[in-house]
Structures are given as C-alpha cells and as structure tokens.
Amino acid sequence: MEYRKLGATDLELSVIAHGAFALGGTMWGGNEKQDSINSIHASLDHGVTSIDTAPFYGFGLSEELVGEAIKGKDRSKIQLLTKFGLVWDGSNKGKGEFFFDAADNGKTIPVYKYASRENVIKEIEESLKRLGTDYVDLLQLHWPDATTSISETMEALELLIQQGKIRAAGVSNYSVAQLQQAAQTLKPASDQVPYSMLNRSIEKDLVSYASATHTGIIVYSPMERGLLAGKYFKEGSLKSDDHRNGYFTQFNLDKVKTLLQSIEPIATDKGVTLAQLVLRWTTLQPGISVVLAGARNAAQAIANAEAMSLELTTEELQFINLQLAGLQ
C-alpha cells in the first residue's frame, strides 16, 4: 500500500481508502452485518488504514459498523473520515435545504442539507458516539447547504479542531469558487468529489487549483458504483431497491461496454481484474490524493487493496487514455 499526505495537513492516508457507503445498506439493496465488519478487518489487514463513512449512510448504521469493526484496534494507526450536513431525523425543524426523499424499508424519508454551526456541533457528538472514538481524523461537509453561509460552517469546524474533536476539516462536492470562499475563514484540507474514467470534470479547474493551494482531493465513485467492474454487463440485474437501477441510466452503456472490452486485455495480461485496473488507473491520475473504494465483504476489500500492486507502463496508460477519448 502507498500512503500520501492529505493536502497541507499532517494526515497520512492510504491511497486506497475503504468507502463505507454500501455498508449502511440503504439504497444498496441491504447488507450483511458480519460481511461488513469482515470487509473492514480485511482492509486493515492489507494496509488500507483510512475508512470513509458518513451519518447518512444507512442512517447511522455505517458509522456504527465501522465503530464495531475497529473496536480494540490501535486507533492511532486508523484514519477515520466521516461527514456531516445531511439531516433525516427532523432535528433541523424545517431549516436547511431540501435535498431528496430517501427510501428505507418502504418508508419515504426527507433528507435536508443543513450545515449550521449548531448542527455541525450536534452531528460530531453523534458520530463520535457511533464510531466509539473521541476524535475524527477528517470531518467533511457532505454537501453544500445554500441556506447556511460558508463562513458559519467553517467557523464551526475551526472550533472542533481547537477542541481536539477533529484533526482536520474538509468539504465534499465543493466547486473552486466555494473552496476559495471557505478559505477566507478556514482553508479546507480536502475536497471529496466524484471522479472516474466516465466523469473527469474536475480536471477542468479543480485539479490545478488543488495543486496550487495544497488542497487534497479525495475521489468517490471511481468504479461508478460497480459499473466499471464489468460485472453488470455480464449479469445485468440488480435488486429492485438498488439505486443503481436509475444511476446507470446517465451513461451510454454501449460505449462503456466497448471501453471495458478494449482495456480488459491489459488486466488479463497482468493477472488482475478489470476493477483493479480501473482503480489503479485512478490512483495514478495527477492531483488525486486518495481514492475511495467500496467493499461489502472481505474478498472485495482485499482485491481493492491489492490493486496498488499493479504496475502500469507509460504506454499502457496512454492506450487507456486513448480509449477514454473515444467516450467524448
């Protein structure tokens, strides 16, 4: 495993981080508790020391499972990354910005973006309890909240750093303009954003800005929620309550299938899976600090970690990028 400093902080994270969205089960067609815990143990055993979760994932369940999985482990060797700012329990009392209606066990639950000072302070206490720890390594705003000033949110994060409850503060889904505005109060350590072979929009301005300002970039959905692993094209079925049924419709699936068929021989020649090839390509892109990789069981977690052992030549990277150009 390779480890990188996150932006200008003293946080050293594993380049592949364990993405714990699916562990919550909600929107992913459920989950198995022991498989989830085993996946985290497998990640830690194979050098993946960074775990990214959020209160919203499973409405608290993901954080609880992460907390249970790391219980008894050396906390100083684990980096916990969590978030705040998505409220579903009504505690915002109508404040904030309506985001969407989440479905959970047949119920419709309204979710709001809410990043007020009061809510930041409330949520960190809840996360610390669920995670079973007294500090979080990186606390990230989950989504921008148009009803709360950026300065108010940053001031709250600065307070939590001073109190020792978080080591560093980051954001998610922020534009360059929002990062610049935040930096007037507190410079974010990182920005967590979507990035993949199918979505390279951050290369337009965020990558260069982050490099110039020593801001870390943590990317999520590098596999486009499993689509780039190729399995969907071979099996083509998902559970009815799996959100990916709708998510995948944004892509030209014929072109994606052609892309995967063109680069799969590289994976075959090197004795790795298509998913591992895609992950490794992502970690090698300029400006990327950390790549989140989801795992719902130990086998997936081990495969994600082992992707870092793959070596790609300049020629192979150029070939892959040439195929990607065909998606435009």
What's the CATH number where 155 sits?
3.20.20.100
pLDDT category, 326, cuts 50, 70, 90? confident
- Paired tokens of 141: 């705003």
Instruction: List, for residues 203-261, the tens digit of each pLDDT value.
Output: 999 999 999 999 999 999 999 888 888 877 766 665 655 666 677 777 888 888 889 99
Residue 12 inside a domain? The answer is yes
Return the amino acid letter for 222.
P
pLDDT category, 58, cuts 50, 70, 90? confident
How many C-beta atoms surround the C-beta of residue 279 within 10 A?
27
pLDDT at 28 exceeding the cut of 50: no
Per-residue pLDDT, 241: 57
Indicate the number of domains in the chain.
Answer: 1
Give the pLDDT mean for 106-120. 92
Q: What is the mean pLDDT of the chain?
A: 91
β-strand pairing of 12-14 with 3-5: antiparallel
Cα–Cα dist 243/44, whole Å: 28
Cα–Cα dist 251/256, whole Å: 8
- The residues near 19 (Cβ < 8 Å, ≥ 6 apart) are 52, 220, 292, 293, 294, 295
Name the nearest CA neighbour of 278 among 194, 196, 195: 196
Instruction: Name the more confident of 82 and 94.
Output: 82
Phi, psi at 220, each rounded to 5°: -115, 165
- Paired tokens of 180: 């610049």
Residue 316 inside a domain? The answer is no
Residue 184 inside a domain? The answer is yes
In this prediction, what percent of the chain has a pLDDT beyond 90? Answer: 74
Instruction: List, for residues 154-168, the tens digit of each pLDDT value.
Output: 999 999 999 999 999
Residue 231 inside a domain? The answer is yes
Per-residue pLDDT, 29: 45
Residue 77 inside a domain? The answer is yes
Per-residue pLDDT, 27: 46
Instruction: List, for residues 262-317, the tens digit of each pLDDT value.
Output: 999 999 999 999 999 999 999 999 999 999 998 889 999 999 999 999 999 999 99
Residue 263 inside a domain? The answer is no
Task: Give residue 76's domain range.
Answer: 3-250+272-311
pLDDT at 134 exceeding the cut of 70: yes
Per-residue pLDDT, 239: 62
- Paired tokens of 94: 């109508």
Would you name the residues annotated as active-site residues?
Answer: 57
Of 44-48, 54-58, 147-151, minimum mean pLDDT range: 54-58
Residue 260 inside a domain? The answer is no
- The residues near 46 (Cβ < 8 Å, ≥ 6 apart) are 1, 301, 302, 305, 306
Residue 326 inside a domain? The answer is no
